[in-house]
Amino acid sequence: MSPQSLNYTDAAILAPMVRIGTLPVRLMALEYGADLVYTPEVVDKGIVGCERVVNEDNGTIDYLSKGVSIFRTHPSEKSKLVFQIGSANADLALQAALTVAQDVSTIDLNCGCPKRFSIHGGMGAALMEEPEKLCGILKNLVDNCGLPVTCKIRIFPDRERTLKLVKMIEATGIKALAVHCRYRDERPREPGHWDRFKEIVDAVSIPVIANGDIKEFADMARIRELSGCTGVMIARGAEANVSIFRKEGRLPLMDIVRQYMRRCLETRNHHANTKYCVMQMFIEDTKSPYYRPLCDAKSFRAVCKVFEMEGELDAWVKKQEEHGWPTDLDSAPRKAAESKEKDAKAMAAANGKANGKAKNTTTADVKMVEVVAESTLGKRKQGDLKDEAAVVVASISASVEAVEGTPAAKKHAAGDGASSQPTPADTPQPDVEIEVEVTTTTTTTVTTATSTPLA
């Protein structure tokens, strides 16, 4: 029996966005009216082999690699959740889909992202240059993953080439096609080609989801009327203010910021991802009084302090401690998880050397701080990891040999977007254009926003 596809009719959809589309934002998008939500792209090798763990304190589900969450979800979003895979290999894509199949409703193949972290190894928009490979991956997923399959592409400047590709893709049996209205080399500052949607809608019989330049709720009706598309996908508009999905209009920014912070507490979102997402909400106003303090925030508490939410953090910590549940929102466990055994062996070897060459380890400690700083959630400033790195440095042996025996972990070649947590080396990281932590804008009107508890 064919898997039941999601309903795309007049659907308002949260687009897949690196680092932005993590669990707190997805939950808020659904709360404010989104019909479907996409995960950020998760590279196949990053999710294959992960351990599935249900968290006792909040019911969230983590897919862990070496103790670090690669993908976090909650059962309340499953019926509307699309899991986007980055892959250039049919077998790995299938393994990735099967890994998460019990917790998502649809599998999407990323065939449109033009960023280096995505096209690395032939993924993302690179697949459009190899349509046979692209369709082979989709066909394998359609035939074997047990869930509806979709994909997301960009357009070629050549109209006929675009139409030929979408017809090939439709023939694989996918349930819907999302189309971003820019060419591979075009960026958000360049206007999208809304006029190209209708020809694609007319060329295929499956639902077509329009993506690109949706900045207001009213834009969704305009693009449907212009193109005849089935659904509309929102990216940057939701990044700036996720209440864009409200029919009644967007809420004041400060309401959204505080609501988002509460969701981050409920879901135990890592502070680095929390800070990054909040900074994108302030991207239009670098002169905001919140901007500089937010840039300087080095912990979840520091971010809470910027918005006068320390009391809510204290209440949450107290509740967690009373139940014996986790309270750490600041740690970067990947380095510790990867190097613990190697460090122990190196320290044992160093201690076993007669008259070991004990030296001042300041230089070695600094090197280790730098190693930690280049991990976790993309190209962040080393200062943002000072508190986390201190934990690692404290465990370094007083012997230079012990430190030198611990090789630096591989630098991320490409990236996640997959989770709020640090990601393994196999998961690609966003490039500089996405990672720059610009920020700003604030609204002086503050009203009380209610938080819906996790179901």
> Quick check: is 113 catalytic?
yes
Nearest to 418 by CA among 99, 178, 187: 99
| Distance in angstroms (rounded) separating the CA atoms of residues 318 and 305 | 17
Bridge partners (DSSP) listed for residue 251: none
| Distance in angstroms (rounded) separating the CA atoms of residues 386 and 398 | 20
Helix (H) or strand (E) holding 276: helix 271-281
Q: How far is CA 424 from CA 65, 93, 161, 198, 304, in A?
A: 7, 17, 37, 41, 28
**Strand arrangement of the beta sheet that strand 61-65 belongs to:** 51-54, 61-65, 68-73
Which amino acid is present at 182? R
- What is the token pair recorded at 178? 């999302």
Widest distance between CA atoms in the chain: 80
Catalytic position from the list 50, 113, 229, 277: 113
- What is the token pair recorded at 210? 């329009």
| Distance in angstroms (rounded) separating the CA atoms of residues 330 and 421 | 10
DSSP string, 358-396: B---HHHHHHHHHHHHTSSSSS--GGGGHHHHHHHHHTS
Q: Which residues are the active-site residues?
A: 113
